[in-house]
Amino acid sequence: MELKQVLMSRRSCREYTDQAVEAEKIEAVVTAASLAPVGVPRDGRPHLTLVTDAAMLKQLGGLFGPERDIIYGAPALVIVSCPPSRPGIPEMNAACVVEMMALEATDLGLGNIYLYGVTMALQNNPDLMKTLGIPEGHTPLSALAFGYGKEPVTECKAWEEILTRNTI
C-alpha cells in the first residue's frame, strides 16, 4: 500500500483468528524493525524476541492473571528490549521499532497492536526474561502482537478528509 493508506489503516487489533502467520510475513515484520532510527546507538541497539510458541504466548498473555489475556490471543509477538542509555532513549527507541513493525504488519494485511502491559509485567519476572533469552541488562519496554485479525485490515481512502480535521 501507499504510505498514507497504511498510516490510515493501522488500528489496534484486539481479536485474532487461529490462522498462523506465514514465516515470510513474520520475517518482513522483523526486518521492518531494523529500519527504525536508533537514538544514542553507541549504548546498544534494541533486542527483539520473537514468540510464536502457543504455550509461551499463553503464559505471557496471563501475566496479569487468568481472567484476561493481555496479548489478545495473537499468534505472534515481538518483544523489544533495550539496554540502559540517556533518560527516555530506551523507551523512544523501543517505540520507533514497534511502530515500524506495526506499519509493515498492516501493509501485509495483519492485525496488530502496540503492547506495553506485557513488557511491564515481564520486568518483574527475571526468570521468564531469562527463558526468553532477553540479554542481561536489557529491559523489555514495548511489544507488537500481530496475526490475522477477526476484522480484516481495510484500506482507508480518506486522507483528504483527515487533512481537514485536527485530532492531536
Site size for its own copies, by CB under 8 A? 50
Stretch that binds its own copies, among 55-63, 81-89, 127-135, 145-153 (CB under 8 A): 81-89
> Residue 42 or residue 66: which is nearer to its own copies going by CB?
42
Could you tell me the maximum CA-CA distance found in the chain, to the nearest angstrom?
Answer: 50
Alpha-carbon span 103 to 11, nearest angstrom: 10
- The dihedral region occupied by 45, where left means phi > 0, alpha psi between -120 and 50, and beta the remainder, is beta
Three cell numbers at 34? 531494523
Provide the mask over 110-149, with x wherever binding to its own copies is found by CB under 8 A and - wherever it is not: ----x-x------------------------xx-------
Which of 74, 97, 110, 129 is in the footprint of its own copies by CB under 8 A?
97
Answer yes or no whether residue 2 interacts with its own copies by CB under 8 A. yes
CB 31, min distance to its own copies, A: 5
Q: Does 20 bind its own copies (CB under 8 A)?
A: no
Q: How far apart are CA 150 and CA 53, in angstroms?
A: 20
| Shortest Cβ 18–its own copies spacing (Å) | 25
Burial class of residue 7 (count of CB atoms within 10 Å of its CB; 0-12, 13-18, 19+): middle
* Nearest to its own copies of 56, 92 (CB atom): 92
CB-based contacts of 101: which residues, under 8 Å, 6+ apart? 29, 30, 32, 33, 78, 112, 144, 146
The DSSP 8-state label assigned to residue 57 in this structure reads H
- Give least dist CB 59 to its own copies, A: 23
Query: How does DSSP classify residue 66?
Result: T
Rule CB under 8 A: which residues touch its own copies?
1-4, 6-8, 10, 12, 27-28, 30-37, 39, 45-48, 86, 88-89, 91-97, 99-100, 102-104, 107, 114, 116, 141-142, 162-163, 165-168
